[in-house]
Amino acid sequence: MTTSEAASEAADRADLAEPSDAPVSAAEPTAGRTVFLLAHTGRPAAVRSAELVVQGLLRSGIGVRVLAEEAEDLPLPSAVERVEAGRDVLDGCELLVVLGGDGTLLRGAEFSRISGVPMLGVNLGRVGFLAEAERDDLDKVVDRVVTRSYEVEERMTIDVLVRNDGHIVHTDWALNEASVEKAARERLLEVVTEVDGRPVSRFGGDGVVCATPTGSTAYAFSAGGPVVWPEVEALLMVPISAHALFAKPLVTTPDSVLAVEVQPQTPHGVLWCDGRRTVELPAGARVEVRRGAVPVRLARLHHASFTDRLVAKFALPVAGWRGAPH
């Protein structure tokens, strides 16, 4: 562990009060109300935050459910329901509360999408664009959950399909992006990009990112793509370190079909979906990306504009702004 990592971990512990040894007095469960809790149990801050959320929900008569594999690392009272991972883990839950950074939130999105249960993210990482609250807002989060004082919005996803020799060999999805990338560091990946059945450009580079508006502030942003407001319905195609005269980011309609063809003479590549799921792409493989059939539902506590969220998350300088005259 580096000195900076050790200091960060120490700061996490210092910022958190010691858990109470007093037993949690759970109120009589409110009929039909259960919240699923997902946490990054490798973070001391997430463990303590999970304990505080569980205490607040149980005292308000709301049942709490967690994954059995995570329960081993969390100081949970016996009143908390433990379940094994599976497609139906959120059955009967009204909300999914996720405590962690971007990776944990994307993990939560997998559960949210398959179940249709809204996800409420509490950021314990760095940027956390998918999160709706910060660690200091835990009391407010619990109160809003108890009183159902939140709104639900749907975020567009993408469906991903891989063909090889004319056959479909893999299907996937993503909330942020699907990226076609080179597998060998020392070799360029030769690709041809396509939009709506027509070729756009052939180039060599590190790969191509196909993203949603939600993902425009993630990998696509790092690759030089535009920031797209989440209310805008669109698809993005962003080359990664392309060695070409024309390799600009493209923004298409949400009904477009994007494709990336790995050229036969190039080394094999890899497909990553949201940086969590990966599959090898043999030379000659074709990746197709289209609007997803199933959105991810996010619970929102604030009515702040995306502009304000962008400024806050990236700490953008706005000194000198005067605004329009009234």
- Residue 170: count of CB within 10 angstroms of its CB: 17
pLDDT at 277: 96
pLDDT at 75: 87
Confidence category of residue 116, pLDDT binned at 50, 70, 90: very high
Beta strands 63-67 and 81-83, pairing class? parallel
The one-letter amino acid at 219: Y
* Residue at a domain's end among 155, 186, 213: 155
Is position 316 within any domain?
A: no
Backbone angles phi, psi at 291, to 5 degrees: -55, 135
Residue-wise pLDDT tens digits, 33-69: 999 999 998 888 889 999 999 999 999 999 999 999 9
Q: Enter the tokens of residue 313.
A: 């998350």
Is position 251 within any domain?
A: yes
Count of CA atoms in the C-beta half-sphere (13 A) of 193? 26
Distance in angstroms (rounded) separating the CA atoms of residues 168 and 161: 7
Residue-wise pLDDT tens digits, 122-143: 998 777 889 999 888 899 999 9
Q: Enter the tokens of residue 134.
A: 């910060």
Structural domain including 21 reads 3-155
Q: Which residue has the higher pLDDT, 326 or 21?
A: 326
Tell me the mean pLDDT in the region 70-84: 92
**Is 165 in the same domain as 98?**
no
pLDDT at 31: 57
Per DSSP, which regions of the chain are E strands? 34-39, 63-67, 81-83, 95-100, 119-123, 133-134, 151-155, 158-164, 167-174, 177-182, 189-195, 198-205, 207-211, 235-240, 250-252, 258-262, 269-273, 277-281, 286-291, 296-300
Residue-wise pLDDT tens digits, 239-293: 999 999 888 999 999 999 999 999 999 889 999 999 999 999 999 999 999 999 9
**Is 51 in the same domain as 170?**
no
Tell me the mean pLDDT in the region 104-116: 96
Backbone angles phi, psi at 31, to 5 degrees: -55, 125
> Which strands sit side by side in the sheet containing 250-252, from one edge to the other?
250-252, 235-240, 207-211, 177-182, 269-273, 277-281
**Is 145 in the same domain as 216?**
no
Instruction: Specify whether the CB–CB gap between 252 and 234 falls below 8 A.
Output: yes
Is position 227 within any domain?
A: yes
Q: Is the pLDDT of residue 9 over 60?
A: no
**Is 165 in the same domain as 151?**
no
Taking the CA atoms of 110, 113, 114 and 115 in sequence, report the sign of the dihedral they define: positive
Q: Enter the tokens of residue 187.
A: 């070799």
**Is 122 in the same domain as 82?**
yes
Catalytic residue list contains 102 = yes
Is position 321 within any domain?
A: no
The CATH number covering residue 88 comes to 3.40.50.10330
Instruction: Specify whether the CB–CB gap between 56 and 50 falls below 8 A.
Output: no
Q: Is the pLDDT of residue 5 over 60?
A: no
**Is 73 in the same domain as 60?**
yes
Is position 170 within any domain?
A: yes
- Of 6-20, 55-69, 96-110, minimum mean pLDDT range: 6-20
* Residue at a domain's end among 108, 127, 155: 155
Q: Which residue has the higher pLDDT, 109 or 20?
A: 109
**Is 122 in the same domain as 10?**
yes
**Is 169 in the same domain as 264?**
yes
In order, the DSSP letters of 29-86 are PPTT-EEEEEE-TTSHHHHHHHHHHHHHHHHTT-EEEEEHHHHTTS---TTSEEE--S
**Is 183 in the same domain as 64?**
no
Tell me the mean pLDDT in the region 10-35: 52
**Residue 236: which of 106, 224, 199 has the closest Cα?**
224
pLDDT at 121: 95
* Residue at a domain's end among 106, 124, 155: 155
Distance in angstroms (rounded) separating the CA atoms of residues 303 and 171: 35
Count of CA atoms in the C-beta half-sphere (13 A) of 237? 25
Is position 315 within any domain?
A: no
Q: Is the pLDDT of residue 21 over 90?
A: no
The CATH number covering residue 194 comes to 2.60.200.30
Is position 303 within any domain?
A: no
**Residue 153: which of 104, 102, 118, 101 has the closest Cα?**
118
Mean pLDDT of the chain: 90
**Is 94 in the same domain as 181?**
no
Instruction: Specify whether the CB–CB gap between 175 and 160 falls below 8 A.
Output: no
**pLDDT exceeding 70 applies to what percent of the chain?**
90
Residue-wise pLDDT tens digits, 186-228: 889 999 999 999 999 999 999 999 999 999 999 999 999 999 9
Is position 52 within any domain?
A: yes
Would you say the pTM of this structure is higher than 0.85?
Answer: yes
Catalytic residue from among 21, 73, 88, 102: 102
pLDDT at 219: 96
Helix (H/G/I), strand (E/B), else coil: 12? helix
**Is 7 in the same domain as 151?**
yes
- Domain count for the chain, please give it: 2
**Is 96 in the same domain as 225?**
no
Count of CA atoms in the C-beta half-sphere (13 A) of 143? 6
The one-letter amino acid at 57: L
Rg (alpha carbons) of the chain, rounded to whole number: 22
